[in-house]
């Protein structure tokens, strides 16, 4: 080994020794803070277990029939929630009543339901809550031109398709017929789904069909522009809203479909229930906020039958509105979600209990850890004072014949103590205790040597 290598090694050893006397003793710090860390971690685990679980990343949305507004809006909801990494599985259904049944059986988590399909009492029994009304879905009665009636009483004997029972339209239209004094058996009622029923109407095999849907539905758009098909005008719409409170009066403005071709060529009065977003009452609160937010993005604009910002709304629904949804409508989105991504905001919102638990533990424990750390460091010095005291006590009461032998043993013991003390690693801030110990070792050694020359006992 060359001289330069020896010098480098000696330098590294010196630096290592200086480092041992320069930093906080991590071992002592960990031992002192260990119980506190364990208690804090335990508190965090318990608090995390007690708070609401994280929202699921997948859920099922029951929509409606093919080419319906429910199907179209369901796809938009899936796209909106995908932005926050929520997978929405769409379930095609017959409609409102089918959706309610799926919610009841737990086969769907959330669904589109038409107002008038259930009651507040029934919704409570089924464990359902509303996230708000989304849009009006007028009753569209399309007839072939050859059907000249302007009254529902004129439908007697005609072939009118109301759709499958699970859609909710048959029950709704029966109520409308009832207030006109028309019994369902007075009509030849069909139960085809929307698309095949439209084909039958265009082929002339049925006289009319009934939809209850938002105007965005592709079939509605098509039929409004199809020659030979006309829309029934509910001229008594205001009276219907008095007889059936879940209905509202809306107007289809002239030219709204195509201004250039003047379609329709007159204002049409329509009666309309509202579509609502209904969920099981155990749906995670964070997902309720997310769906209401998405509803605002999808339905918040102006439309054929609504003004800007009219929907979504906690009104127009017979199903009780979920507390979280009502709070969202009243106060807007949660504070953190206004500035953070959904999952990060949700994490902080859920862990507020953990923060409280940490504060409750850390504040008092922070007053315990520093003194405990100081005691741990100084104890490495203080325990050697016990050894020094043992040396002094060993000398007391020694008789003259054994004094020289005992003195030699005690001086050797002091040398051993000093050697071990010289290897103590201690933070620089507490080095005064180490140097004090060395001085006291030397004092005891000098007293033993003084006794050797001038007396029988250690001087006081």
> pLDDT tens-digit profile of 68-127?
889 999 999 999 999 999 999 999 998 999 999 999 999 999 999 998 888 889 999 999
Tell me, rounded to whole angstroms, the distance of Cα 34 from its chain centroid. 33
Q: Pull the structure tokens for residue 380.
A: 């490495």
- Residues in contact with 373: Cβ distance below 8 Å, sequence separation at least 6, in sequence order: 28, 29, 32, 33
**240-244: Cβ within 8 A, 24+ apart:** 240/176, 240/179, 240/271, 241/271, 243/179, 244/116, 244/175, 244/176, 244/179, 244/271
**What's the whole-number average pLDDT of the chain?**
85
Give domain 139-272's CATH number out of 3.40.250.10, 3.40.190.10, 3.40.50.261, 3.30.70.270.
Answer: 3.40.190.10
On the question of a common fold for 58-137+276-331 and 139-272, the answer reads yes
The model's pLDDT over 39-56, given as tens digits with 9 standing for 90+, comes to 767 766 766 666 667 889
Q: What is the pLDDT of residue 102?
A: 96
Taking CA atoms, 268 is separated from 145, 215, 248, 264, in Å, by: 16, 13, 14, 8
- How much of the chain is in helix, strand and coil states, percent to nearest 5? 55, 15, 35
- Helical H runs in 188-252? 194-203, 218-224, 237-243
Q: What is the pTM of this model?
A: 0.64
Q: Which residues pair with 258 in a beta bridge?
A: 263
SS3 of residue 80 by DSSP: helix
The model's pLDDT over 169-193, given as tens digits with 9 standing for 90+, comes to 998 999 999 999 999 999 999 999 9
Instruction: Please state the domain extents for the chain.
Output: 17-38+369-454, 58-137+276-331, 139-272
Largest CA distance in the chain: 141
- Name the strand (E) or helix (H) holding 412: helix 403-421
Classify residue 89 by its DSSP letter: E
CB 85 within 8 A of CB 343: yes
The dihedrals phi and psi of 143, each to the nearest 5 degrees, come to -125, 155
For residue 345, pLDDT over 60 is answered with yes
CATH 2.60.120.510 applies to domain 58-137+276-331 = no
SS3 of residue 361 by DSSP: helix
Whose CA is closest to 304, among 135, 134, 142, 112? 135
CA distance 391 to 385: 10
């Amino acid at each position: 080994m060359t001289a330069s290598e020896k010098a480098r090694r000696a330098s590294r050893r010196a630096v290592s020794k200086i480092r041992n006397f320069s930093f906080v003793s991590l071992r002592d710090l960990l031992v002192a803070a260990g119980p506190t860390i364990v208690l804090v971690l335990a508190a965090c685990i318990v608090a995390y277990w007690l708070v609401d679980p994280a929202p699921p990343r997948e859920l099922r949305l029951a929509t409606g029939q093919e080419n319906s507004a429910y199907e179209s809006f369901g796809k938009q909801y899936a796209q909106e929630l995908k932005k926050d990494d929520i997978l929405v599985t769409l379930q095609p259904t017959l409609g409102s009543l089918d959706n309610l049944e799926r919610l009841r059986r737990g086969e769907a988590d959330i669904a589109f339901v038409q107002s008038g399909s259930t009651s507040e009492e029934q919704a409570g029994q089924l464990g359902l809550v509303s996230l708000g009304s989304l849009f009006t879905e007028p009753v569209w009665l399309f007839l072939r031109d050859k059907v000249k009636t302007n009254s529902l009483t004129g439908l007697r004997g005609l072939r009118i398709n109301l759709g499958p029972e699970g859609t909710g339209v048959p029950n709704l239209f029966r109520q409308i017929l009832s207030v006109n004094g028309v019994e369902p058996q007075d009509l030849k009622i069909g139960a085809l789904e929307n698309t095949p029923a439209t084909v039958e109407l265009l082929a002339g095999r049925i006289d009319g069909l009934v939809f209850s849907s938002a105007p965005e539905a592709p079939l509605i758009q098509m039929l409004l522009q199809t020659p030979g098909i006309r829309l029934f005008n509910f001229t008594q719409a205001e009276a219907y809203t008095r007889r059936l409170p879940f209905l509202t009066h809306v107007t289809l403005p002239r030219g709204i479909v195509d201004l250039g071709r003047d379609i329709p060529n007159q204002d049409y009065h329509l009666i309309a229930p509202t579509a609502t977003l209904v969920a099981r009452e155990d749906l995670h609160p964070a997902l309720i906020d997310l769906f209401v937010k998405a509803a605002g993005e999808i339905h918040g604009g102006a439309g054929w039958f609504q003004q800007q910002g009219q929907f979504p709304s906690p009104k127009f629904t017979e199903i009780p509105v979920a507390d979280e949804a009502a709070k969202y409508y009243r106060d807007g989105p949660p504070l953190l979600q206004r500035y953070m991504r959904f999952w990060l905001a949700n994490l902080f919102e859920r862990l507020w209990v953990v923060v409280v638990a940490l504060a409750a533990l850390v504040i008092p424990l922070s007053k315990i850890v520093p003194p405990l750390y100081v005691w741990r460091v100084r104890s490495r010095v203080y325990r050697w004072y016990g050894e020094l005291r043992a040396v002094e006590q060993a000398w007391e009461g020694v008789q003259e014949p054994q004094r020289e032998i005992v003195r030699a043993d005690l001086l050797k013991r002091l040398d051993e103590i000093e050697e071990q003390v010289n290897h103590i690693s201690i933070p620089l801030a507490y080095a005064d205790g180490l140097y004090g110990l060395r001085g006291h070792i030397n004092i005891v050694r000098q007293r033993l040597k003084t006794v050797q020359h001038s007396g029988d006992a250690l001087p006081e």
